Structure 1
Amino acid sequence: MHGYAATGLDEIVKDANLTRGAVYHYFGSKKGLFLAVLESVQNEVAEKVEAESGKSKDVWEQLILGCRAFVTTAVEQKNKRIMLIDGPAVLGWEIWRSMDEQGSMRLLHEQLQFRQQQGYFESVSIDALTHILSGALNESTLWIAQMPDVMESVEAILQHLLSESSKVK
């Protein structure tokens, strides 16, 4: 995987057995093709988060499982460059951020809001908590992508931060 900048459209069309015209017809440009790929990766990550969090009936465990699923799926070789490195660089921070808000952050917000309705995070702004936790998850994912052996530490800290923030009245 060479990344967006190091991969030419000629290489893409050859590997995909397409023509340049087909890429331009369906995606408008190399950047449009990348946008479609990023959307696909984000949908795959969201599906994994939902599937993993759905493995428990306990709301607290659902939150932890969902966060863990996000991090582990995002650092997979096929996802990390597209989601975390090229996404913001190619599309720009604002577009990447908007896509993140519609995907992973939306799921996180829903889970935190549900926990608040059950009496947790009573005096905490769920919007603020969502943004802070999402930022922590994204940064953790970049760190884990570079140093996979820190995953256990990240999970422990994440669990601690969530449990402490749920005590805020």
Structure 2
Amino acid sequence: MSKGKGIRAAQAKATRSLLVEAAHRLFAENGFHATATNEIVKAAGVTRGALQHYFPRKEDLFRAVFEQAGRGLVQTAAERVKNEGWEGFIADLKDFIGNVASLESQRIAFIDGPAVLGWSEWRRLQLSYGEQMVTEAIADGVAKGLISPQSSRALAHLILSMIEEASLMVLNADKLLVTTNEVEFAMLSLLTSLNRHRVV
């Protein structure tokens, strides 16, 4: 790659990053539908032409923001699973549920995500971020005798669905008349019982 092309590629990457970061802040604060593209352009300090070049539709920009947020949410947990296995996953999950209501990305991940992307695509992306990490945690749990031997992939999908539902319950706790502690206790009770009820 020539020096000129390398500089242009770096500038393009920087411009795209500015747009994604600005959109993340605004989508997290105001929501997708309440955020105008001219606000994003102004916050990013770029031209409207740059926005249209990298993200022809506002939905395209939201997808980029969603993907970045999704990877960020999983990154810490994946590192903990790598170091501590199943026990690390449980500890990180407890921390996550306890703090989900204060996450900057909560609106992006759990409220606007399904509405803007469509439920099927939202679900597919959620699985793509977390499935490998949860599968690795399950494999470690099985190896340590903490989980009954079974299909890691099937259990990973069910656990990820439970995490999504638990997160939504916490975010709607007042309407559902539950507390974060109750949701956390119920979820951890299910996960810690995986070796007590063997499927025959």
Residue 39 (structure 2) aligns with: 11
Determine the C-alpha separation between the residues in 2 that align with 1:70 and 1:105: 17
Q: Which runs of 5+ in 2 are unaligned?
A: 1-28
Q: Which residue identity lines up with residue 73 of structure 2 in the other structure? A: V
Residue 45 (structure 1) aligns with: 73
Moved more, 121-130 or 137-146: 121-130
Determine the C-alpha separation between the residues in 2 that align with 1:91 and 1:74: 21
Runs of 4+, deviation exceeding 6 Å: none
Q: Which residue identity lines up with residue 184 of structure 2 in the other structure? A: E
Number of equivalenced pairs: 167
Residue 95 of structure 1: how far off its partner (Å): 1.6
Q: Does 1:31 align with 2:66?
A: no
> Contact conserved, 1:50 with 1:66, CA < 8 A, in 2?
no
Residue 36 of structure 1: how far off its partner (Å): 1.0
Q: Any idea what the Cα deviations from partners look like across 1:35-75, whole Å, max 9, x if unmatched?
A: 11111111111112234556x74x44212113224434643
Determine the C-alpha separation between the residues in 2 that align with 1:75 and 1:40: 19
Determine the C-alpha separation between the residues in 2 that align with 1:10 and 1:129: 44
TM-score by length of 1: 0.84
Q: 122, 129, 148: which one pairs with 1:96?
A: 122
Determine the C-alpha separation between the residues in 2 that align with 1:7 and 1:67: 31
Determine the C-alpha separation between the residues in 2 that align with 1:67 and 1:100: 15
Q: Does 1:154 align with 2:190?
A: no
Determine the C-alpha separation between the residues in 2 that align with 1:120 and 1:52: 17
Q: Secondary structure at the match of 2:131?
A: helix
Q: Does 1:82 align with 2:111?
A: no
Residue 9 (structure 2) aligns with: none
Q: Secondary structure at the match of 1:75?
A: helix
Q: Secondary structure at the match of 1:121?
A: coil
What fraction of aligned residue pairs are identical, expressed as a percent? 30
Residue 147 (structure 2) aligns with: 121
Residue 113 of structure 1: how far off its partner (Å): 2.3
Determine the C-alpha separation between the residues in 2 that align with 1:67 and 1:139: 13
Determine the C-alpha separation between the residues in 1 that align with 2:136 and 2:95: 16
Q: Any idea what the Cα deviations from partners look like across 1:64-108, whole Å, max 9, x if unmatched?
A: 113224434643341110000111110111221121111123311
TM-score by length of 2: 0.72
Q: In the superposition, relative to structure 1, how do residues 52 and 69 fare at CA in structure 2: closer, same or farther (>3 Å)? A: farther
Larger Cα-atom Rg: 2
Superposition CA RMSD, Å: 2.4
> Contact conserved, 2:100 with 2:106, CA < 8 A, in 1?
yes
